[in-house]
């Protein structure tokens, strides 16, 4: 037999021995690990909520028995998070079961989830430039009919939409080739037309700031087709904004300490407004113990207003009667209905995010 053939036989024998040994080891491993374990589930990226009890704060001031039908007699204010510089613009995201809100000086939008807590969601939120201290962050937030986040961007002086890729799309930035002051708060009607306010709060020197290009602080309507209409130039500091359940009445809060009022207007079929009147005058409510002027506001399904003001959140009937106040003990900037059933009122109160359960539901729930 040739040497080459002998070597081939030896190699074949070694391969057979190794194969048998591997088979025996595999059989032994299979016996030791019988029955086989189930596949491990894929790791879920969704935040997991856990039961959590939040500390209580503040109180409910009841001025009229009608408040009991809106806020239960045993309702308590819960402190959800704190440590912010100036919290603002809360909006509930029903698709993702969470709350978004702005911290204006920090240029951040935060996300809060029940039982999980607060985390940074969007940075930058309102000033996308590069100059240190170049501008403030977002203020009012809203979701459009497609569920996308729309922001009043103080620093960029525009209203912008956050796209799925994380980029901003400018919805409006100029009025007749002049930059807006610093859009503050906004609301959509059922058809997707956007109403927003434009005071000068994002400008360092307010009305006297050299960067201010408009001679007025306006309230606007941005139609679905992109047409911008000035609704009024007459308000000193237009701020919070909301619509009645039928979209026929527009409410605008005026955060002027000298005349702290909430205005109401009839919305015409062409989208303009008429019959402006004082819906509620909050000027006399302010005191050293009750800080705050009219700021953000929300409307419930029955037309009641939950409007921030002196001491916290004023609860006003559809005819403008002051039913009571949710006393947060803080200068409270804004509020929003949310939760799974739309019955929880979330409030941004200076450095604090808090909430209270109600017996009503927000408009649209």
CATH of 56-357, one of 3.30.720.110, 2.40.128.20, 3.40.309.10, 2.120.10.30: 2.120.10.30
> What are the boundaries of each domain within the chain?
56-357
* Least reliable range by pLDDT among 44-53, 192-201, 276-285, 348-357: 44-53
More confident residue, 28 or 172: 172
For 221-276, the pLDDT digits (tens) are 999 999 999 999 999 999 999 999 999 999 999 999 999 999 999 999 999 999 99
β-bridge mates for residue 27, sequence order: none
113 phi, psi to nearest 5 deg: -125, 135
What is residue 43's predicted lDDT score, i.e. its pLDDT? 40
What is residue 26's predicted lDDT score, i.e. its pLDDT? 41
More confident residue, 215 or 134: 215
Q: Please state the rounded mean pLDDT for residues 22-32.
A: 39
What is residue 42's predicted lDDT score, i.e. its pLDDT? 32
Q: With 50 as the cut, is the pLDDT of residue 36 above it?
A: no
Percent of the chain clearing pLDDT 70 (strictly above): 86
* Pairwise CA distance, residues 47 & 119, whole Å: 11
Binned at pLDDT 50, 70 and 90, residue 52 comes out as confident
For 153-167, the pLDDT digits (tens) are 999 999 999 999 999
Percent of the chain clearing pLDDT 90 (strictly above): 84
Binned at pLDDT 50, 70 and 90, residue 51 comes out as low
Strands of the 59-62 sheet, one edge to the other: 59-62, 322-327, 312-316, 305-309, 297-299
Q: With 70 as the cut, is the pLDDT of residue 180 above it?
A: yes
**What is the per-residue burial (b if ≥16 Cβ within 10 Å, else e) of 39-67?**
eeeeeeeebeeeeeeeeebbbbbeeeeeb
* Pairwise CA distance, residues 214 & 174, whole Å: 10
């Amino acid at each position: 037999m040739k040497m080459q053939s002998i070597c081939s036989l030896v190699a074949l024998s070694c391969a057979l021995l190794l194969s048998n040994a591997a088979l025996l080891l595999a059989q032994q491993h299979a016996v030791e690990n019988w029955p086989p374990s189930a596949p491990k589930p894929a790791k879920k990226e969704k935040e997991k909520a856990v039961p959590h009890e939040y500390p209580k704060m503040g109180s409910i001031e009841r001025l009229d028995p009608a408040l009991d039908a809106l806020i239960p007699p045993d309702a308590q204010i819960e402190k959800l998070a704190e440590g912010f510089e100036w919290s603002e613009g809360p909006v509930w995201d029903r698709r993702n079961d969470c709350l978004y809100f702005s911290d204006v000086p920090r240029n951040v939008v935060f996300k809060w989830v029940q039982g999980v807590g607060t985390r940074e969601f969007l940075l930058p939120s309102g000033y996308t430039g590069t100059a240190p201290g170049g501008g403030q962050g977002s203020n009012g937030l809203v979701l459009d009919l497609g569920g996308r986040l729309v922001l009043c961007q103080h620093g960029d002086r525009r209203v912008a939409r956050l796209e799925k890729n994380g980029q901003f799309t400018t919805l409006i930035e100029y009025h007749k080739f002049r930059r807006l002051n610093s859009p503050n708060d906004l609301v959509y009607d059922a058809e997707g037309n956007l109403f927003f306010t434009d005071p000068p709060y994002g400008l360092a020197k307010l009305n006297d700031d050299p960067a201010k290009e408009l001679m007025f602080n306006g309230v606007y309507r941005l139609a679905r087709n992109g047409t911008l209409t000035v609704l009024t130039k007459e308000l000193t500091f237009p701020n919070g904004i909301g619509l009645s359940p039928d979209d026929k009445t527009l409410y605008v809060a005026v955060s002027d300490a000298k005349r702290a009022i909430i205005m109401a207007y009839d919305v015409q079929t062409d989208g303009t407004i008429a019959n402006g009147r004082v819906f509620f005058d909050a000027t006399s409510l302010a005191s050293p113990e009750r800080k705050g002027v009219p700021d953000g506001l929300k409307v419930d399904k029955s037309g009641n207003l939950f409007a921030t003001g002196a001491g916290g959140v004023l609860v006003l009937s559809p005819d403008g009667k002051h039913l009571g106040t949710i006393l947060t003990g803080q200068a409270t900037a804004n509020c929003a209905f949310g939760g799974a059933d739309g019955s929880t009122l979330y409030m941004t109160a200076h450095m604090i995010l808090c909430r209270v359960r109600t017996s009503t539901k927000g408009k649209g729930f």
